[in-house]
Amino acid sequence: TMQRILPKFKLTYFNFPGRGEKVRIAFKMAGIEFEDERIEFSQWPEMKAKSPFAQVPLLTIDGMPPVAQSAAILRYVGRLGNLYPSDPEKALQVDEIVGLEEDFFQARSLPFFIGRNPRAYGHPADIPNQDIQAIQANLRSTLVAEDIPRFLGYFEAKLAQSERPAFIVGDTPTVADCALLASLRAVKTGTSPGVPPTLVDAHPRLAAYYARVMELPVIRAYYA
Amino acid sequence: QMPTYKLTYFNIEGAAEKVRLAFKLGGIDFEDERVDFAAWGEMKPKTPFGQLPLLSIDGKAPVAQSGAMLRYVGRLGGLYPQDPEKALEIDEVIGLDEDFSRMVAPSFYIMRSPQMYGHGDLTEDEKKAIQAKMRTAIAADEIPRFLGYFEAKLAKSGTGYFCGDKPTIADCVVLVMLRTLKSGRLDHIPATITDSKPLLTAFYDRMMGLPAIAAHYKK
């Protein structure tokens, strides 16, 4: 394996899991040190104005101008930390899961996005708060009944492709596991609003996978 | 012995076009299978995740996720370097384009299924009125914001391509975005909206002039 002298890394994101968590998990799985900078919402407007694309997470490498895009940062850390195969067909399998998890994140976050910016979804700018909350409650019950089980079923089916699945793709951890763990954890720990933590348990391989990955020493230590 | 590739998608550019371009630029043969919308209802439950595009390698079980396919074809065709810092630059551009698509999407889906955003039953006229408002708003703020980011990226690169001095999968992705905007098929988004960006305009002409891409769009 190629040994590199690694630069200093700083990951900047809000103090919640969201889009940053899969990257934090990747740093931990890779055993790569990083500064886990967590900002408060009150700090965000000033920071947003100075950020390249008005978004976080951001990765600062050796104090250089920061790089955005959580999936880009995830793959970068994965390349440095042996979590992202260079074989094209293996990487294709990994990327398929990373993409699917992004779709899952988008689907279950939609009620939150609508609440944050109703105008972007065709609602009047002055829509009453209680109307938004009713919309969110409605959409969340559909998510819980249909979309979330559907996505969990896809990951369950992926695990079912192998008799004794170790990780979501292949025998060693990859960035696909980092992304999937972040999503499963969001459901399991109730940080996805309105989503019962028990939804994962209906999928036995996925529930076992979650328990296994959470027991990895670096992951257990991180979440202790 | 080269494997055979089949890319399956609808007969539109959409999510598959960047992958088609990567195949063409990489000089890799592939079957460009196009499915009628009418055939999709029957096909959907037979797909792994109820979505297109799909990529089948040597007739094996198909893989989903256009971003995964794009990177795979990019690796094979020399359009996606292994170097972590170079790939990071490329992936950042690809991610920005995905954010752009997600920003435009609601004003597209509002016409087909407004209930997915919490709207009730709407008449065709009501939907059109809402879409007009959404599109006018993004034409004024969000689209120029993103175009500014891509323009700045080109300025920083200085080579005429997004990352390095030759095309990568990042260029495939941005070309498709520009084609969508320039087509005029997004109601209430003027087809001239990108004209105020000189580097993006030159980039568009450069990419469309590449022999493999010119040939692709000739047919």
Q: Name residue, tokens 């976080």.
A: A56
What is the ipTM metric for this complex? 0.97
- In this predicted structure, what is the pLDDT of residue B2? 85
Number of Cα atoms under 13 Å in the Cβ half of residue A117: 11
Q: How far apart are CA B214 and CA B152, in angstroms?
A: 26
- Token readout for A58 is 């951001």
**A89: closest CA among B38, B182, B102, B56?**
B56
Instruction: Supply the pLDDT for residue B1.
Output: 76
Cα–Cα distance between A143 and A199 in angstroms, integer?
Answer: 11
Average pLDDT, chain A: 95
pLDDT of residue A191 exceeding 80, the answer is: no
Position B42 scores a pLDDT of: 96
Residue of chain A with shortest Cα separation from B108: A121
Tell me the helices (H) and strands (E) count for chain B, helix number first.
Answer: 9, 4
User: What's the CA gap between B75 and A213, in Å, rounded?
Assistant: 29
Q: Please measure the distance between the N-terminal and C-terminal CA atoms of chain B and give it in whole angstroms.
A: 28
Which amino acid makes up residue B31? E
| Cα–Cα distances in angstroms (integers) from residue B175 to residues A163, B25, B78, B81, in the given order | 43, 12, 18, 19
In contact, B107 and B138? CB cutoff 8 Å:
yes
Task: Give A121→chain B minimum CA distance, Å.
Answer: 6
Please name the member of A80, A91, A138 whose beta carbon is closest to the beta carbon of B118: A138
> Looking at chain A, which residue has its C-alpha nearest residue B83?
A79
> What gap in Å lies between CA A180 and CA A156, rounded to an integer?
11
Rounded to 5°, angle at Cα A221 from A21 and A33: 65
Interface of A with B (CB under 8 A): 52-55, 67-73, 75-76, 79-80, 86, 88-89, 91-96, 98-100, 102, 106, 110, 114, 119-123, 135-136, 138-139, 150, 154, 157
- In the numeric block, the tokens 């079912």 are attached to A160
Write down the pTM of the prediction: 0.97
Residues B138 and B108: beta-carbon distance below 8 Å: no
Look at residues A60, A59, A80, A87 and name the one whose alpha carbon lies nearest to residue A71: A59
Examine the pLDDT at A1 and tell me if it is beyond 60. no
Q: Which of B72, B75, B106 sits opposite A122 (nearest CB)?
A: B106
Q: Residue A6: what pLDDT?
A: 87
